[in-house]
Structure 1
Amino acid sequence: MSDTLTPTATYLCPRDGARADATTLMWCCPVCGGPWDLDTGPMPPVALDALGGRVGSLWRYEEALPLDGAAVTLGEGRTPLVPLTPHVSAKLDFLMPTLSFKDRGAVMLAELARRLGPEQVVADSSGNAGTAVAAYCARAALPCTVYVPEGTSPKKTEQIRAHGARLEVVPGGREATAAAARTAAGAPGTFYASHVFNPYFLHGTKTYVYEIWEDLGGTLPDAIAVPVGNGTLLLGAALATAELLAHGLIDRRPALIAVQAEAVSPLAAAFRDGADELPDDTGTVRPTLAEGIAIPRPPRARQILAAIRESGGTFLTVTEEQIRAAQTDLAARGLFVETTGVACWAAVGAETDRSVVVPLCGAGLKTGLAP
């Protein structure tokens, strides 16, 4: 495979139809300031019987990915699918190289940045995405700065520093951190490795579903539960299920179950109200153990709400006590998962009679046990 961008790929704004070449460093739509989608044009199907013997990473699904070939990899992907109950299985994405599912998207951003050759890479994160971007930029020999909010787990900031990235701690919450990073991203020669605004990240996270499909012999469960803050895993899952259905590789799309912490659940509230967008005032943001999904105003809110409805899915919320109990329960089953990563098990648990896959998407070492 050639070391180039897919020739037909262009950035496309889902709101106003604006387009830009995928080689641009312009990280958002110049018309509305919103995040890009990626128009790849027709892409071939992934043949199940062609996967045997391929590389044991997410790059095995090369037909479905918008980059031809890869030099950047840490062997990410191919995480185990483990039964928890007769109906619920867990995908152990905390076994990724940086101990979270964010590696799926970060490897795509680092590979894209490597080809574009920026002077610097900038990212913002509540911890896991920043760690993943820092690691893959180190692998690609790219200078990287990661912005995190004050109060980010010290174990996550230690990981970021360990990979050689410059760490910028921003006073305030997640929105203040994003604003600081976006200001820095405006400097010439800067690649904004945003897991929210750059759609290449979503094409990395969609491999989560391709792996489930492969492991289940070319089928998918009745439902896929996903923790949702900025919605990057959810939107990747929606991309994958749409592609698999369009290619005739599945005969139905599973319902997508989006899980939010009750303390910060603007999307769940909008879904219950039948809204297509978030209201101007999303209500009070309270502290939550699920720091990774504590996002009061996700830029892709409209797309997230649409994806849930199109799949026939729903939103569920979990309390802080449910998060604590779920973390303890999983640990008793041999799985030590961070507090954000247990949200879907807290929501779905054993009380279901349909087949569901839940992600355990961050290692417990990231945050420790819930107090």
Structure 2
Amino acid sequence: MTPLPDCFCPTDGTRVPAGSLAWCCPVCRGPLDLDFAPTPAPLKSLAGRVNSLWRYAECLPLAAPTVSLGEGRTPLVPLRDGISAKLDFLMPTLSFKDRGAVVLAELALRLKPRQVLADSSGNAGTAIAAYCARAALPCTVYVPEGTSPKKLEQIEAHGARLRVVEGDREATARATREAADEEGVFYASHVFNPYFLHGTKTYVHELWEDLGGRLPDVIVVPVGNGTLLLGAALAVAELHGAGLIDRRPALYAVQSAAVAPLAHAWAAGADDLVGVTPMAPTLAEGIAIPRPPRARQILRAVRESGGTFLTVTEDQIRHAQLDLASRGLYVESTGVACWAAVREGVLGERTAVVPLCGAGVKTGPARE
């Protein structure tokens, strides 16, 4: 078994040794990054490998997985006008969060905590619960009140303890972080733990493989806490650094207009969040994050890619969900945000891929 890499704080450089249960920088309490710079394998060497995200072994910080459910390798299907959709709602727990959750569960299995904690508006908690069940790890998931009953049912079905927190997503995160400071606890945070990002980056490695060793002009991703976008940026950097792509695609970040702190900062030309973004009701509940901890990293990644931010209204989300359903794709309301943002032609003649991140059965149809 290969040794684990150290973590470090991207803000102040503080290092956290491999094997630690520390979930944040001990100095500034910010998220951590991983001291890990892999070189991806060339396209021809992937033939015959395991048909899951673990086929990209050279790019993952953990080797020889034991808790896999066959996650990854989701279909890529055309929509229209050079735009394709990657069907990540066909993952084992019906959302893209499985990509990061399996890596966190594998890490937890090796660190042997007495308890695994997670906080979520639904999909991440479901994924963590499922993979902890697979690994026989005790798990508790904190969720905000008002979380979809279908997601709560799925979390409990996997045997996780459920803690419903009064208040919004931010209140839930605070409650979980307090509990995460207890001894022997592994905080399976899809925001603070960098291993999650190294799981989500396999989304782009799959695109590269499926497109025959290239990437589209634009990669469109929904952004709340930014885990898929930052994973995508990691993968693009790895592929470009290895000379496996000759240009970097633009990253287009999509937020709900109702809760769009990053889009507002982008419009202001800022490097970090500006002002206070109030929480507002939105159909895109999974990306309704008023203060994402990795805001600076997200803004920098979009800027360096030559991308931009787009916002979508509630009506656009409803119409996009119906449009996808008419094409045979029933996707939850958060998961249709990217299609809502680009389906009216804002990309021109550029090629693009949008992720369909969660299944419609998790929340049902978007309603007034």
Q: Render the CA deviation track for 1:294-316: whole Å, top value 9, x for unaligned.
A: 00000000000000000000000
Q: Which residue of 1 aligns with 2:324?
A: 330
5+ residue gaps in structure 2? none
Among residues 197, 201, 204, which one is paired with 1:206 in the alignment?
A: 201
Distance 2:160 2:328 in 1: 32
Among residues 164, 170, 173, which one is paired with 2:165 in the alignment?
A: 170
Assess, with a 3 A threshold, how the Cα gap between structure 1 residues 217 and 350 changes in structure 2: closer, same or farther: farther
TM (norm. structure 1) is 0.97
5+ residue gaps in structure 1? none
Quote the offset at 1:5 in angstroms. 3.7
Contact 2:251-2:306 within 8 A present in 1 as well: yes
Count of aligned pairs? 365
Q: Render the CA deviation track for 1:229-279: whole Å, top value 9, x for unaligned.
A: 000000000000001000000001100000000000000000010000112
Q: Partner letter of residue 133 of structure 2?
A: A
Q: Which residue of 1 aligns with 2:211?
A: 216
Of the structure 1 ranges 349-358 and 59-68, higher mean CA displacement relative to structure 2 is found in 349-358
* Superposed CA RMSD: 0.8
Q: Which residue of 2 aligns with 1:114?
A: 109
Quote the offset at 1:350 in angstroms. 4.8
Q: Partner letter of residue 11 of structure 2?
A: R
Distance 2:344 2:158 in 1: 38
Among residues 342, 355, 358, which one is paired with 2:354 in the alignment?
A: 358
**Residue 68 of structure 1 aligns to a residue in which SS?**
coil
Instruction: State yes or no: 1:271 paired with 2:266.
Output: yes
Q: Partner letter of residue 320 of structure 1?
A: E
Q: Which residue of 1 aligns with 2:222?
A: 227
Of the structure 1 ranges 258-267 and 17-26, higher mean CA displacement relative to structure 2 is found in 17-26
Distance 2:15 2:222 in 1: 30
Distance 2:16 2:222 in 1: 31
Q: Which residue of 2 aligns with 1:292?
A: 286
Among residues 57, 60, 83, which one is paired with 1:62 in the alignment?
A: 57
> Runs of 4 or more off by more than 6 Å in structure 1?
none
Distance 1:98 1:342 in 2: 18
Distance 1:119 1:276 in 2: 39
Among residues 3, 17, 20, which one is paired with 2:16 in the alignment?
A: 20
Q: Render the CA deviation track for 1:187-231: whole Å, top value 9, x for unaligned.
A: 110000000000000000000000000000000000000000000
Contact 2:39-2:238 within 8 A present in 1 as well: no
Contact 1:88-1:350 within 8 A present in 2 as well: no
Q: Partner letter of residue 343 of structure 2?
A: G
Q: Render the CA deviation track for 1:143-198: whole Å, top value 9, x for unaligned.
A: 00000000000000100000000000000000000001111111110000000000
Q: Which residue of 1 aligns with 2:255?
A: 260
Contact 1:12-1:37 within 8 A present in 2 as well: yes
**Residue 80 of structure 2 aligns to a residue in which SS?**
coil
TM (norm. structure 2) is 0.98
Quote the offset at 1:286 in angstroms. 1.3
**Residue 105 of structure 1 aligns to a residue in which SS?**
helix
Distance 2:93 2:136 in 1: 17
Instruction: State yes or no: 1:39 paired with 2:38.
Output: no
